[in-house]
Amino acid sequence: MARSSLYPALVGELEKRVSRMAIGSFLPSEQALAESFQVSKPTLRRALAELARRNLIRTINGVGNLVTGNSRVISRELVFLCYDLTFFALTLREFSRAAAEANYLSSIIPLCGDAASQERILNTAIARNPAGMVVYADPDRNDEKAFPPLVHSGIPTLFLVRLPQGIDGNLLTFENGDAIAKIVRLLYREKCRRFALYSNAGLSLSATRERKQGFLEGLKRCRLKARPELLRTRESSPEETERFFEQFRHAGKRPDAVCCLNDVCAGDLIRDAHRRGIRLDGIRLSGFDHASLTAFLPHELLTVKPPFEELGKCAAELLIRQIENPGFGFIRKKLESRLISIQPTDFSQEGATHFPAAK
């Protein structure tokens, strides 16, 4: 264990041990504790003094360290408030694992319900006064009144993916719109020149805006212009949607590539085209999220795999670093997303084959 993290880790281990002991019992001798944790007696005594300051133990000269409190609310708690537990399942797992390795206790709390419910959940989490908090907020409700009190509470807080409106805080995110721009540039190098955009109402407004902007930025970098007739978004009317699909029937108007804003949109595009009797042969399709359904699509798909595991590990490390080093300023970090090529399903095989895409 690094010397800089030895003392806080020792306090956490002692705190866990005390929380499991009955009030009125004694901790093992200092010699036994020092040998158990492989630390020097001065370091151990410093950690014991911290527990005494918190009224968890009382040192009796010549007798030992008496347990006087064993609150189940451990001060080294890291709270992860998450709006979408399913999407970030791997992130939550790695966050909890990294927290445990640093001798912190992780608590995962769903941030769900309507605006009032989410505000109550935030306020309840603040009242727990944990060592630190990670927040992935509802992307369509990122202006809640509870966020400013959270930032001003003094609790080290790290926001995931995007900051709430009007908040200047710690942010850990990953390539989102810029990953769509990378897809456009990759397909341009593969001779695609006529690009379409496809989205539906299943994607949050925030993600829709960010990924659409990434699509437009990718076209700009390739010196291409967006074709309004090839842009189908959640705001498109039924008539505009029909005109969008009509372009696929004409060789001179048919797109070379369709950038779907997530993998579900890609599946919807394939279904809607099939329902209209439109073949997508020769058209490159892309999505986002690397969802499990991509293994069953009958069309090759270039998709984006967000760094879910790295996101959880990094969130825990950045939060703990600020907890243990309060002098650090705001953190801004963006992780790289991976492009993955999913081959069309052959139902005579067990599943699709995944290939890393060229960057």
What is the DSSP secondary-structure string of 41-52? Answer: HHHHHHHHHHHH
Same domain, 13 and 142: no
Domain annotation covers residue 191: yes
| Banded model confidence at residue 359, pLDDT cuts 50, 70, 90 | very low
| Banded model confidence at residue 204, pLDDT cuts 50, 70, 90 | confident
217 Cβ neighbours under 8 A, 6+ residues apart:
177, 178, 181
Q: Is the pLDDT of residue 346 over 60?
A: no
Q: Is the pLDDT of residue 81 over 70?
A: yes
What is the pLDDT averaged over residues 194-216?
92
| Banded model confidence at residue 5, pLDDT cuts 50, 70, 90 | low
Domain annotation covers residue 326: no
Residue 46's CATH number: 1.10.10.10
- Name the residue with tokens 């900051």: 163
Domain annotation covers residue 16: yes
Residue 29: give the domain boundaries.
3-67
Per-residue tokens: 226:
């967006």
**Residue with more model confidence, 239 or 325:** 239
Domain annotation covers residue 277: yes
| Residue 52 CB neighbour total at 10 angstroms | 15
Mean pLDDT rounded to a whole number for the chain: 88
Report how many domains make up the chain: 3
Same domain, 200 and 279: yes
Same domain, 200 and 144: no
Give Cα 79 to chain centroid, integer Å: 14
223-281 confidence digits (pLDDT tens): 999 999 999 998 899 999 999 999 999 988 999 999 999 999 999 999 999 999 999 99
Domain annotation covers residue 135: yes
| Banded model confidence at residue 143, pLDDT cuts 50, 70, 90 | low
Same domain, 301 and 189: yes
- Report pLDDT for 22: 82
- Report pLDDT for 12: 77
103-117 confidence digits (pLDDT tens): 888 999 999 888 888
250: exposed, middle or buried (Cβ count in 10 Å: 0-12, 13-18, 19+): exposed
Residue 236's CATH number: 3.40.50.2300
What is the pLDDT averaged over residues 195-209?
90
Closest CA to 351 of 266, 280, 294: 294
